[in-house]
Structure formats: structure tokens, C-alpha cells
Chain A
């Protein structure tokens, strides 16, 4: 069962903001939204996560709608090294050993 929906691919000009959307209309009240990315032939890299408030760190910002049914990952100034597949994942608050389950993600291409 796909719990998130993401566009399969996006392009972004280098230096511009990359806004990656994710729909998670069936999210439950105790589920977090996680974002990871995978650069070609590497393991996934954690980016950011949030529950209901917007979050920002050194890599990105996460904007979660008030109804929590969708979110947007923002890379404020995309570089060529941000070219990767970006995964939006929802998962319950940790208790036990629930692993991350990956969907198909969005392939972001940053273009010079």
C-alpha cells in the first residue's frame, strides 16, 4: 500500500529553490513525515523529518500543511550535487523496530 505519492521526476535550475511535493492523505496522527535522498550508487541519506510543525535544518526545510495531508521539501539553493532520488516516507512514532519503507520517490535533476 502506497502511503505517499510523489511525482516521478522534477528538474531544477542550479541555484534556484527545489520544491519537492509529497501527498500523504491517509497519514495518522502519530505518524512522522521523513525525507531521505539517494545519490546514485550510494546509501540513502537522512534529510529531515517532522510531525506537524515546519522544520528547517542545514540541508532543507520541510513544510507540512495544517491538515498534514501533504508536505513539501525545500532545498533553498539547489546545486548539481543535489541531483538524487528523494523519498518521502511516513512512519509511526518509534516504538518497536518499524523500519522505513521506501516508495518510488522523485528523481530530482539539477541542471546547470
Chain B
């Protein structure tokens, strides 16, 4: 399957600061990447769909000005949590989808964000 990496794997920041999370597709070009977040003991919730070279599509209830997504190349998408607050503490996971065929989706290892 496809290899997806995320950086950093974990981050602790102070309230009010911004944090950038990178998602890289290591062995193929991904025109579409997805961002999910997961709170403790809950399932993954889709935040947004990131399309290379165009604006991301956000799910209802996700603030686009708070969670900035940039998909500048076919192998890199970034999620920036701006002015982070403790309630933004979560596990953020990116995913890429293979084009064509059944379209398997592969996931990164996740980034644990803790906002103090």
C-alpha cells in the first residue's frame, strides 16, 4: 500500500500559538488528501478534503480560517491550526486516496496535538 508520513508525530504548544502539521505521500502523487481528527475514545471525524492546487473543502462545523489547509504539491499537504486552544487538542490524521480502481485510502501515523 501507499506510504504516508506525518510530521511531527506529536507536538505540545501554548494556547494562542499556531501549529503546522505536514502530510507527505512518499511513493505516489496524490491529487486528493483528507484530514481527520480524533478525540479520545471517539471515532475519526473528517475535517476537510484537500485538493492539489485548489482550495480545500471543509466539513460542516469545521472553521476554515482556524484550520488552514495548503496542498501545494502532489506529495505534500499541510494543516495549520491557528490560535490553538486546549479544545483543539486532538489526534490529527491525514489520508491519501489512490486514483483509479477501488480507490483504497491510506492513512498517515497521526499527529497528537496538545494545547496547554
Contact = CB atoms under 8 A, between A and B. Distances in A.
Interface of A: 32, 36, 38, 41-46, 49, 87, 93-94, 97, 99-105
A94 B108 CA distance: 21
B103 A94 contact: yes
Given A100-B95, A102-B44, A104-B43, A46 B105 contact: yes
B1 interface: yes
Contact of B93 (A43, A46, A105): A43
Contacts of B34: 99-100
A97 B97 contact: yes
> Interface size for chain B: under 10, 10 to 19, 20 to 34, or 35 or more residues?
20 to 34
A99 B43 contact: no
B110 A94 contact: no
Nearest to A92: B103
Interface of B: 1, 4, 6, 32, 34, 36, 43-46, 49, 51, 91, 93, 95, 97, 100-110, 112
B109 A99 contact: no
Contacts of A42: 109-110
Contacts of A44: 44, 93, 95, 107
A56 to B, nearest CB: 16
Given A44-B107, A99-B95, A102-B44, A32 B102 contact: yes
Nearest to A85: B43
In this complex, the member of A32, A41, A104 whose beta carbon has the largest number of chain B beta carbons within 10 angstroms is A41
A94 B101 CA distance: 7
Contacts of A99: 34, 46, 49, 95, 97, 105
